[in-house]
């Protein structure tokens, strides 16, 4: 994948009481106007292109039966829904996903290489502030 096909950055948005929010054009250019939105770790939502989602589903399906497969089915697959941006670039985040991610008003849409994430502002800030410098250095050294 080239740099043009990767997502990065953290963009502040708001979500209205009906669950509508704008979704960044620069991310839609990569994953499409129609994509899969599902639950992720740490009370975040994850947006996958339909192609990437099908690949993930195939990999989960091919796993040996066991706890890991059940967790992935419970969190990722059962919570997944296709969403499509309207002509104004807004998506509708279903109530169940809003509740899971604690999305009320202020949110961040975050590029995560080949997926995008939607976080509540407070959860995202707490998560990023919880990362210790040693953990960051360790992660960077794992790149070598």
Domain limits of the chain? Answer: 3-141
Here the tokens at position 71 are 């967790």
What share of the chain in percent tops pLDDT 70? Answer: 97
What share of the chain in percent tops pLDDT 90? Answer: 69
| Count of other CB atoms within 10 angstroms of residue 36 | 22
Fold of 3-141: Chemotaxis protein chec (3.40.1550)
pLDDT at 139: 74
pLDDT at 2: 40
Q: What is the pTM of this model?
A: 0.88
Q: What is the pLDDT of residues 62-119, one digit of tens each?
A: 999 999 999 888 888 888 999 999 999 999 999 999 999 999 999 999 998 899 999 9
């Amino acid at each position: 994948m080239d740099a043009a096909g990767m997502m990065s950055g953290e963009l502040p948005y708001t979500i209205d009481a009906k669950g509508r929010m704008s979704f960044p054009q620069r991310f839609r250019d990569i994953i499409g106007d129609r994509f899969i939105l599902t639950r992720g770790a740490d009370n975040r939502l994850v947006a996958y292109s339909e192609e990437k989602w099908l690949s993930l589903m195939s990999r989960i399906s091919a796993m040996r039966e066991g706890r890991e497969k059940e967790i992935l089915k419970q969190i990722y697959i059962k919570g997944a829904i296709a969403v499509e941006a309207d002509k104004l670039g807004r998506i509708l985040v279903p109530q169940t996903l809003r509740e899971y991610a604690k999305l009320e008003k202020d949110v961040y849409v975050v590029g995560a290489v080949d997926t995008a994430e939607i976080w509540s502002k407070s959860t995202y800030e707490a998560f990023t502030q919880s990362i210790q410098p040693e953990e960051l250095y360790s992660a960077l050294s794992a790149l070598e």
